[in-house]
């Protein structure tokens, strides 16, 4: 009887893992030359977690944070082990870019915070250096990938 219970528990866990929703993905083009395949942080939890805990971020990848309404936004690097570039986006244009240094502490209150220079409707996080040379006003195209 114990073996059956263990097998049933294992099957239940496997089915739950398979049914877990995979992250939404999108393709983000910045200007004419830069294209990124990104995960979309489209829930409160994914926006709160962001890229924390990752030890690397491959070239051409990143995370997009679409916001429900345009407003001033803040990001922090708690739990981050890598530097990233961010593009603050409003009306499909880069408002500004910043390079953020990691903060391996997990307590957000002990890590620096960066605030958007004005209200934004999205934020793009990509590997550090990927946005070198991108100027304010650069056009951004976001295409959600089909499942």
Q: Shortest CA distance to 129 belongs to which of 62, 53, 47, 74?
A: 62
| Domain-located, residue 69 | yes
Structure tokens at 82: 């890598």
Q: Shortest CA distance to 142 belongs to which of 63, 74, 84?
A: 63
| Domain-located, residue 39 | yes
| Domain-located, residue 6 | no
| Domain-located, residue 10 | no
Tell me what pLDDT residue 63 has: 92
Residue 93, SS3 per DSSP: strand
- 138 pairs with which residues across the strands? none
Q: What is the pTM of this model?
A: 0.80
| Domain-located, residue 45 | yes
pLDDT at 117 exceeding the cut of 90: yes
**pLDDT tens-digit readout, 49-98:** 777 778 888 999 999 999 999 999 998 888 888 899 999 999 999 999 99
Q: Which residue range(s) make up the domain with 102?
A: 23-144
CATH number of the domain that residue 63 is part of? 2.60.120.1140
| Domain-located, residue 4 | no
DSSP codes joined into one string, 15-61: HHHHHSPPPPEEEEEETTTEEEEEEE--SHHHHHHTTTT-S---TTE
What does the angle CA 52 – CA 84 – CA 47 come to, to the nearest 5 degrees?
A: 40
| Domain-located, residue 54 | yes
**pLDDT tens-digit readout, 11-40:** 334 334 433 456 789 999 999 989 999 999
Structure tokens at 19: 């049914």
| Domain-located, residue 8 | no
Domains held by the chain: number: 1
């Amino acid at each position: 009887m114990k073996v059956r219970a263990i097998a049933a528990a294992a099957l239940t866990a496997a089915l739950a893992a398979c049914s877990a929703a995979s992250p939404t993905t999108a393709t983000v083009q910045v200007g004419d030359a830069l294209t990124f395949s990104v995960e979309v942080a489209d829930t409160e939890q994914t926006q709160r977690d962001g890229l924390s805990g990752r030890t690397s971020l491959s070239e051409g990848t990143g995370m997009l944070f679409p916001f429900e309404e345009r407003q001033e936004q803040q990001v922090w690097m708690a739990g981050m082990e890598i530097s990233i570039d961010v593009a603050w986006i409003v009306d499909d244009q880069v408002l500004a870019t910043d390079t953020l240094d990691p903060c391996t502490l997990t307590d957000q209150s002990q890590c620096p915070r960066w605030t958007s220079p004005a209200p934004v409707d999205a934020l793009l996080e990509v590997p550090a250096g990927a946005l070198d040379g991108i100027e304010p006003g650069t056009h951004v195209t976001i295409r959600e990938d089909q499942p």
